[in-house]
Amino acid sequence: MQRSIATVSISGTLVEKLSAIRAAGFEGVEIFENDLLYFDGSPADVRRIADDLGLKIMLFQPFRDFDGVSPERLARNLDRAKRKFDVMHELGTDRILVCSNVSPDTLCDDSLMIDQLGALARAAAAAGVIAGYEALAWGKHVKTYRHAWKLVDAVNHPSLGLVLDSFHTLSLNDTPEAIADIPGERIAFVQIADAPKLAMDVLEWSRHYRCFPGQGDFDLANFTAQVVKAGYKGPLSLEIFNDGFRAAPTTITAADGHRSLLFLEEQTRALLEQQSQPQKTTSELYRSPAAPAHVGYQFLEFAVDHTTRAQLADWLGKLRFRQAGQHRSKDVTLYQHGAASIVLNAEPDSFANAFFQQHGLSLCASAFRVDDASQAFERAAGFGYAPFSGQVGPNERVLPAVQAPDGSLNYFVDERPDQPTLFEADFVLTDVNGPTEVGPLERIDHVCLSVPANALDTWVLFLRTALGFLAEPGVLVPDPYGLVRSRALRSPDGSVRIALNASVDRHTAVAEALHTYHGSGLNHVAFRTSDIFSAIPEFVADGVPILRIPRNYYDDLAARYALSDTLLEAMRANHILYDRDERGGEFFHAYTEQLDQRFFLEIVERRGGYDGYGAANAAVRLAAQAQRRK
């Protein structure tokens, strides 16, 4: 399908927007009226710029408050419409979006509206254009696509069609299935927007919190599937009102928009194929290599120098990580504990070294174990993520990789039974037959990243598109100095979990970490254990600095949960926090203190199928960390 985006969706001047939109791969664009009004040139100039870029102007919008008016107002509106049609001719587009009336004095009379929309259709026909009528979710009389279609169908004129907008449908919890019964040729245009589910006024919700497909909570695949079933052959166009997008870099936002439409088409195709729809129905939808069915952590790689390597190695040693190997050709050391592998990279003149120069001690790469590394790489590259290739020594493994939104690397690793493992190929291993002692940690449970507020949605889209992760609803966590917005994602099999933390407030822990890193950075790594009450005393005895939790927290636990005095005392003594889900699953976890005001580590034990992250305890942890920073 053709892919389009409204100019209102991204930041910049009109020329900057058009250039970024085309560079991102869009075939078409909606010109938002304000962008044209603020442009120092004629509509014909805009058309020439678009033509030079190879960009088609698909729609001009919006045209407001036309229907449900007095005869005197109708005459003025028709004159206004004819002037807009003249602008459309200069722009070189044949479609205009007409919004349902939101004025309090709208005349709520279907018969009157049908007559007035008929007059608009005849005027559009005389001008050789098509008017698309859209139901705004906050319209005075017409709020739903069904109502809008009833009016358009009654007019029954080829120059009046229906405009569908996913936000206006799904924000009202309306079901989109009836769209499939609308003749595709009567659908003039389709606009797409995702959004987080929020309990707020729908107008404010629409004007500030729309986002790209895959970044919110709407079931856009089902909405789009109904559009495809209807036989619609026009473009899918993004219309996003979002304060963050309007302040974010133009090219990055445009690129995210394009890949979000690819992702939506992929999801829609999968849904239609599950429903055994004919192949011709899905033939125009994007198909990418399948996302990895199984994903695991192969290793986490830290950029270090000699000083910070010794510092981090000391921490790892206290957590019973053993030095498991030295890279064959680089100044890179492998540490392992259970199934968790950590790599410290101090190689000069390398990617890690450049990353260290910019960010200091930091997580510079994550390697994911997948079934087919080449296929995983092709998928990520197909969504437009930049490939990376580094220096490889003789007989060392070539790892396909792409750059994440912060410039760090994501490697893809597959292990074959007839070949040496990655660590056997690239490292001189200390224990060829594996570790001689088993520690209390089993594997990496999850990783949490601190990211700029305007990059959170970009990260969500990266993990969903490149890796096929599933997103969980976002949560707000109180920090002593503001609010932290958190969003967790996981691989389909749940083996890899990544949480993203962001804050617009200047003095939260996340904001201070971003300042320290000069950008995004690791917030913490959580390691799983099956016996946290044995693990924490061992780590403390070895010198691991555990974050102290206030006694009042445990007094509150005693009031909220029916926990035994013995258990409460063990948690209090070891500074272990507790959470319980509605099914009775339990979560015990403890934190180390921060390393150099950058990141910390977490030890977790899950019982009874608990599947969360202890979000209820985040505020306690943030307060305890804030006290330690002072």
Q: Are 338 and 439 in contact (CB under 8 A)?
A: yes
DSSP 129: -
Tokens of 176: 């989109």
The SS3 of residue 371 is coil
In the Cβ-directed half-sphere of 223, how many Cα atoms lie within 13 Å? 24
β-pairing verdict for 340-345 and 332-337: antiparallel
- The burial of 179, by beta-carbon neighbours within 10 Å (0-12 exposed, 13-18 middle, 19 or more buried), is given as buried
Burial 303-336 (b: 16+ CB within 10 A, else e): bbbeebbeebbebbebbbbbebbebeebbbbbbb
**What are the binding residues?**
134, 165, 191, 239, 446, 524, 602
Give residue 265's region: left, alpha or beta (phi > 0; psi -120 to 50).
alpha
What is the C-alpha to C-alpha distance for residues 366 and 412, in angstroms, rounded to an integer?
Answer: 9
Give the H or E element holding residue 35: helix 33-37
Find the distance separating the first CA and the last CA of the chain, reported in whole Å. Answer: 56
Tokens of 32: 């938002």
In the Cβ-directed half-sphere of 574, how many Cα atoms lie within 13 Å? 25
Q: Where are the alpha helices (DSSP H) in 65-109?
A: 71-91
DSSP 593: P
Of 597, 557, 591, which is closest to residue 575 (Cα–Cα)? 591
- Show the 3-state SS of 249-260: CHHHHHHHHHHH
What is the C-alpha to C-alpha distance for residues 19 and 49, in angstroms, rounded to an integer?
Answer: 9
**What are the binding residues for a divalent metal cation?**
134, 165, 191, 239
What is the C-alpha to C-alpha distance for residues 138 and 59, in angstroms, rounded to an integer?
Answer: 22
Tokens of 288: 């990418």
**What are the binding residues for Mg(2+)?**
446, 524, 602
- The burial of 134, by beta-carbon neighbours within 10 Å (0-12 exposed, 13-18 middle, 19 or more buried), is given as buried
- Show the 3-state SS of 332-364: EEEEEECCEEEEEECCCCCHHHHHHHHHCCEEE
- The burial of 89, by beta-carbon neighbours within 10 Å (0-12 exposed, 13-18 middle, 19 or more buried), is given as middle
